[in-house]
Structure 1
Amino acid sequence: MTIDAKARVEAGDLTLVIPRNRLVWGLSATAGLLLVAHLLTSLNRYVFGLTFFGANDLYVLFDMWDEVSIPSWYSVTLLLLASGVLTIIAAGKRASGDRYARHWVVLALIFLAMSIDDSADVHGHTSYTLHAMFDTGGFLAYAWVIPAAALVALVGIAYLRFLFHLPPATRWRVVVAATVFVFGALVMESFEARYDTLHGVENMPYRLMVGVEETLENAGIILFIATMLSYLSALASEVRLRFPRA
């Protein structure tokens, strides 16, 4: 990211130039580093057992299973970034009177809701409630995947026509991104639930599964962000945000 100081001085404007490829690579590298940190701290806790000052703190900070951790914050940030990009696209579509403008608005709100869910662990609380009500077990022990799968199916059906109006390259990248994310969020979560009922969560295999799950989710979101940025750049060469002086 660079700031065009000359434009700011001469015209009272602040120009931010964000190279799309660098941003995507930066997001991907960060996700990879967080996975490495999660695996190393988990290995130390469950396999090597090395004791040193701050060892437990590092484990807690980089534990992908913990909702209050750096990886959790990063996942929320990715979802918010995706929502922000979608909001910009939606604004452009509404301004041009595009027939699918509402779809873009709703999609931006969906990602915003996902970020809230990830931050406040709404799905976790829902899971406890459903598990207590219906005594789910095995692959459905984390019962939130049941309504989540239904919601995914409903959104998929509702957005079929929207999906097919997208350019082919964009369409298939969205499909791949969604598939990767859903596989991590629902399929891997179900396997974790099954493993949890048999062996519990305080062991290395479970933490490895969590690492795979969270990394797949992050990869899906990053691919989606990259796809939307590419789509946005095809719509407009630049995006300007104006904050008029009162």
Structure 2
Amino acid sequence: MVASVEDLDRTVTIDRSRVVRWRKLGWWVLGVTVALNVASMAVPALIDHPLTTGRGEIRVYLDVFSEGNLPTWWSVGLLVIAAVCHATAGALATGRRVRGAWTWFVSAGMLGVLSLDDHTSLHERLERIGRQWVHFERFPGYWLVPGIIAGVLVAGALGLLAARLSGLARWCMIGGVVLLLGSAMGMEAVQGLLVAEGESGPIYVLVLHMEELGENLGVLLMIAAAVRSVTITGQGGRFGLEYVSAGATRRD
């Protein structure tokens, strides 16, 4: 296969430009994600103060179980960033007329919906529907019943993109979907079983935070899938974006 003059010119331009690295920023974002999760568990457990125990302001602000807390704000932010990254990759892929570029927009839309759900706890409002369908003796997770249908739709929308990608980007996307849905559905089910058995102590708290961390790590992997699909170059104070087609070799 003979490369066109346009492709050769693009290669020369990228070679002369400095490829922007995102690894350091990625490690910082990962560190903050883990730190917030650990702080939510550690602060009330290690600091005995009215502000950090019971309904103290600091505990409520850091507690992932409460509404309107710092970890939830961070999670929503990650989902919004993921949606923007996927939409950007979709726009670049469309510009290059890449086949299946529309799957980036489907994924971006779904991530946007998930950010809305995380911010408004929309999924928990499915509990009323679940109670109309089934009845459990002690298991409280009624929203999981209709939630399974929603989970299949999410997996399908995000899976369309994973099927179009290749290499590390595909594995990042697959791993992200598995972690996100596995944590959201699987860990919620485990929490329900623990509550049904009367467990609300350290084990329940650990599972709750495993769910939150797993969801965030899944979103980070999906952000990585978009970053792996785009080359960002800088030259003379100017930056450029280039979509890396499926099967193409990315310069690191």
Give 1:234 shift.
Answer: 7.7
Pairwise mapping of residues 158-173 of structure 1 onto structure 2 (< 5 A)? 162-173=161-172
Q: Distance in 1 between matches of 2:175 and 2:134?
A: 34
Q: Distance in 2 between matches of 1:191 and 1:28?
A: 25
Secondary structure of the residue aligned to 2:72 is helix
Is the 8 Å Cα contact of residues 90 and 101 (structure 2) preserved in structure 1?
yes
Q: CA-to-partner distance for each residue in 1:185-226, whole Å, 9 max, x for gaps?
A: 11011000111222264x332221111110011111112212
Measured on the aligned residues, the alpha-carbon RMSD in Å equals 2.9
Is the 8 Å Cα contact of residues 138 and 194 (structure 1) preserved in structure 2?
no
Is the 8 Å Cα contact of residues 60 and 66 (structure 2) preserved in structure 1?
yes
Unaligned runs of 5+ in 1: 1-16, 241-246
Q: Distance in 1 between matches of 2:152 and 2:60?
A: 35
Q: Distance in 2 between matches of 1:205 and 1:67?
A: 21
Which residue is 1:211 aligned to? 209
Unaligned runs of 5+ in 2: 1-18, 243-252
Q: Distance in 2 between matches of 1:161 and 1:114?
A: 17
Partner amino acid for 2:218? G
Which of the two has greater helix per residue? Answer: 1
Structure 1 residue 220 corresponds to structure 2 residue 222? no
Partner amino acid for 1:198? E
Normalising by the residue count of structure 2, what TM-score does the alignment of the two structures yield? 0.75
Partner amino acid for 2:115? S
Is the 8 Å Cα contact of residues 103 and 160 (structure 2) preserved in structure 1?
no
State which drifts further: 101-110 or 111-120: 101-110
Is the 8 Å Cα contact of residues 43 and 204 (structure 1) preserved in structure 2?
no
Q: Distance in 1 between matches of 2:170 and 2:72?
A: 28
Q: CA-to-partner distance for each residue in 1:143-200, whole Å, 9 max, x for gaps?
A: 3323333233345456656433312322122111211112111101100011122226
Give 1:133 shift.
Answer: 2.0
Structure 1 residue 188 corresponds to structure 2 residue 184? no
Structure 1 residues 134 and 235: CA distance shift in structure 2, 3 A: farther
Partner amino acid for 2:147? A
Pairwise mapping of residues 53-132 of structure 1 onto structure 2 (< 5 A)? 53=51, 55=53, 56-127=56-127, 129-132=128-131
Partner amino acid for 1:167? S
- Aligned pair count reads 218
Q: Distance in 1 between matches of 2:149 and 2:66?
A: 25
Which residue is 1:13 aligned to? none
Structure 1 residues 165 and 181: CA distance shift in structure 2, 3 A: same
Secondary structure of the residue aligned to 2:240 is coil
Structure 1 residues 206 and 161: CA distance shift in structure 2, 3 A: closer
Partner amino acid for 2:60? V
Pairwise mapping of residues 24-39 of structure 1 onto structure 2 (< 5 A)? 24-39=26-41
Structure 1 residues 222 and 124: CA distance shift in structure 2, 3 A: same
Is the 8 Å Cα contact of residues 184 and 216 (structure 1) preserved in structure 2?
yes
Normalising by the residue count of structure 1, what TM-score does the alignment of the two structures yield? 0.77
Secondary structure of the residue aligned to 2:65 is coil
Which residue is 2:14 aligned to? none
Which residue is 1:133 aligned to? 132
Is the 8 Å Cα contact of residues 131 and 143 (structure 1) preserved in structure 2?
yes
**Percent identity of the aligned residues?**
22
Secondary structure of the residue aligned to 2:183 is helix
State which drifts further: 185-194 or 172-181: 172-181
